Amino acid sequence: MKEPEEQGEIRFAEILWRERQVRIEYTWIGTASADAPLVVFLHEGLGSLAMWKDFPAQLCAAGGFRGLVFSRPAYGRSTPRDDDERWDVDFMHRQAHEVLPAFFDAIGLRGKPWLLGHSDGGSIALLHAARFPDSVAGLVVMAPHILVEDVTVASIEQAREAYINTDLPQKLGRYHDSADSAFWGWNRIWLHPPFRQWNIERELDPIACPLLAIQGLDDVYGTLEQIRGIARRVRQTRLLELPDCGHSPHRDRPEEVVAQIVSFINNWRQP
């Protein structure tokens, strides 16, 4: 695996995707020990490398892990969407099946990483592990989506109103070269009527690795059915249901989440 000399240095990889060259920003964090588990962080639907803030560093320091943090196409400092580019119902499948393998190949990643995904990133992690079950050491998913619920759509509709009528574009602009690229790519497809039928439950069966699924009891973007549905399909799933916690467990309950993830990964760590 090729790594930069300086941990924390922002780098860029180039991949060919959707018939054009796409730039992806990324950074390595944590220990440089090749024997340590590698955790790849997959951000939420409005997230980016920078929006993780210090959580990846905290987790890697607590567990002695290596970390790889990056922004998917259209987010952060990665290549924005073209103005006329509209995502389709399979947008998370394409990230999982096309972008991740191309990105890993571009940076020379070898071995089996742990995938840690939040929200849409959790869904992408699940889809990747289901398609490539022999390439993943384990999964940690926080507030993932495996189906579309009414509560999810209602909250995303509220987010659209906030983006139009408040300073949300300016706030997101701190973390993305193009806030419009990040927001509208995510918002329009989630509110696209055919997307209401999106459901990946049956696609989870091939997942063979250990899986920790975390959900806040106060999550306005999804109910406990999201992670309990995973457990019904993937028998090696461990559930962590957190009270007093919303859609971002790593921000609402950081100490507990870090401790639980470290314990889970180390329990499955190869000797």
Give pLDDT tens digits for 19-36.
889 999 999 999 888 889
Partners of 14 in the β-ladder? 23
Coarse DSSP helix, strand, coil percentages of the chain, rounded to the nearest 5 percent: 40, 20, 40
pLDDT tens-digit profile of 150-181?
Answer: 999 999 999 999 999 999 999 999 999 999 99
E strand or H helix that includes residue 259: helix 254-268
CB atoms closer than 10 angstroms to residue 20: 11
Strands 38-42 and 66-70: parallel
Give the whole-number percent of the chain exceeding pLDDT 70: 97
pLDDT at 33: 86
Report residue 269's pLDDT band, with 50, 70 and 90 as the boundaries. Answer: confident
CATH 3.40.50.1820 fits 11-268, yes or no: yes
E strand or H helix that includes residue 124: helix 120-131
Check whether 2 has a pLDDT greater than 60: no
Partners of 40 in the β-ladder? 68, 115
pTM of the model: 0.96
Provide mean pLDDT across the span 79-94: 92
What average pLDDT does the structure give for the chain?
A: 95
Show Cβ contacts of residue 225 under 8 Å, excluding neighbours closer than 6 positions. Answer: 147, 149
**Six-digit token pair at 157?**
């509709």
pLDDT tens-digit profile of 112-124?
Answer: 999 999 999 999 9
Provide mean pLDDT across the span 192-213: 97
pLDDT at 3: 45
Provide mean pLDDT across the span 55-66: 97
Contact indicator for 159, 169 with CB cutoff of 8 Å:
no
Ranking 18-22, 184-188, 204-208 by mean pLDDT, the lowest is 18-22
pLDDT tens-digit profile of 40-53?
Answer: 999 999 999 999 99
